[in-house]
Amino acid sequence: MQWERPKQLFAHIALTYQGWQENVLLSIDDSGNISDIEANATPPEDVKTFDLLIPGMSNVHSHAFQRAMAGLTEATSGNSDDNFWSWRQVMYLFKQRLTPEHTEIIARHLYVELLKQGYTSVGEFHYLHHDADGKRYKNPLELSERIIAAAETSGIHLTMLPVHYETSNFGGIPANDGQKRFVHSIDDFLKLVESLKARQAKAADMNLGVAPHSLRAVSSESLKTLMQALPRLDMADAPVHIHVSEQVKEVDDCIAWSKKRPAEWLLENAPVAANWCLIHSTHTTLDELKTIASSGAVVGLCPTTEANLGDGIFQADEYLKMGGRFAIGSDSNVCVSPWEELRQMEYAQRLATRRRTVLCDENFPSVGFNLFLRATTGGAQALGIKAGMIAPDCRADIIALSVDSPMLAGKNLDQLLDTITFIMQQPPITHVWVAGKCVVENGEHKCDADSKNGYQNVLCQIIG
């Protein structure tokens, strides 16, 4: 699909790397990066003018196919202790119905939704590799190609995170039938990564990382082998994403296996650094959080999914005081709004501490501004892209918002982000640019009709 890439954009107000600035003229080069920023400028006659420009948001953790499950797991299973593990059984049954065509159509629709809400990049934690019987497709990249195609059609930036999955629990317990679409040997997984590395060169806008699923799903030997292989694949600094300490049972099982908690074991036995993203980290101790913060790694939080599954509440207040970095993700995709993720993140802290305005400090007294700024920069770091700021040499991943809403009248600049984050149900997004290409214009995406129709047809096939 062809996208317009303007050479310049002008905004009455823009949130740049130097803070809020007025009458800002942005120049965009042919590679989609910001080449120049001029504040207090006069708008050229042939350049579009916008009310407000802010950086695009990175979604660091998505399982695209689970968007089609939304609404199917909200009734009791008859078990008085419904939790992540009972939800997982529903997910295992659901993914058996998906064909490669279904996978692409669902992902395309999701990515269009994400773009219209202000996400400009997505980290796809992709573990659906084989057919419903666990057999390899003739093309081992069959389902990966479907995700790549969905990203290219929608225009979103993709950081592909192929998932290594080999066991069902700590200590090498074999994978069960529900996991047979996920499983690789470490040798086969490295071949998959090599193939994706070659495919990356042909993709429109794709970065590549790896995702050892979790300590319960990947043996310590395979994790070590994977880390040793990355330099050979020219991926020494590539993003590494892993689920950590999401549920209490996971923590208990890890202690029974190793006499250590998951985050504790990982931090002692893996080269956790700034290119790592530790997903969830819900049940981590303060000592573990301090070590994570000092490592430079990013914690990938998925507040609406964590709430939906009843996982628990991450100790965000203490972690941010330690200088910890975080990003947000949509995970199970029951929510496609970054604003709702940030809102849920703050509200969970308020409920836990019985205080208001928790996730802010003296330097950033505005909660909305503080969370937005940290999430954009942390998200770009976690996906391995130079983005998250409107700054020279950064990707032109940008959101335009209208300030015409009565809800925004009379608000100062920080209060605009507070109001959009905490008060408005639908953010007033008018345009979205990914690497300088306009993928949402006047609130609409070129794929809206096809995406909607295709998605509805798939849902009728697999649910109806």
Portions of the chain given CATH number 3.20.20.140: 57-383
pLDDT at 204: 87
Say which CATH architecture domain 57-383 belongs to: Alpha-Beta Barrel (3.20)
Confidence of residue 44 (pLDDT cuts 50, 70, 90): very high
Residue 52 predicted with pLDDT over 80: yes
Q: Parallel, antiparallel, or unpaired for β 49-55 and 398-401? A: antiparallel
Closest CA to 443 of 56, 116, 112, 11: 116
Closest CA to 22 of 13, 35, 31: 13
Is 280 annotated in the active site? yes
Residues contacting residue 188 through CB under 8 Å, at least 6 positions apart: none
Mean pLDDT of 432-457: 97
**Least confident residue range of 78-87, 121-130, 211-220, 379-388:** 78-87
Residue 372 predicted with pLDDT over 90: yes
Mean pLDDT of 129-145: 97
pLDDT at 175: 96
Residue 142 predicted with pLDDT over 90: yes
Choice among 61, 157, 184, 280 that is catalytic = 280
Say which CATH architecture domain 8-55+390-448 belongs to: Roll (2.30)
Residues pairing with 212 in the sheet: 164
Is 12 annotated in the active site? no
| Token pair recorded at residue 241 | 């994403």
**1 or 174, which is more confident?**
174
Confidence of residue 433 (pLDDT cuts 50, 70, 90): very high
Number of other CB atoms surrounding residue 247 within 10 Å: 22
Choice among 205, 253, 311, 331 that is catalytic = 331
Mean pLDDT of 275-281: 98
Q: How many Å separate Cα 178 from the centre of its chain?
A: 25
Per residue in 319-335, pLDDT (tens digit) is: 999 999 999 999 999 99
Mean pLDDT of 345-374: 96
pLDDT at 77: 79
pLDDT at 299: 99
Per residue in 66-121, pLDDT (tens digit) is: 999 999 999 987 776 889 989 999 999 999 999 999 999 999 999 999 999 999 99
Portions of the chain given CATH number 2.30.40.10: 8-55+390-448
Query: Helix 100-117 crosses helix 448-462 at what angle (to 10 degrees)?
Result: 130
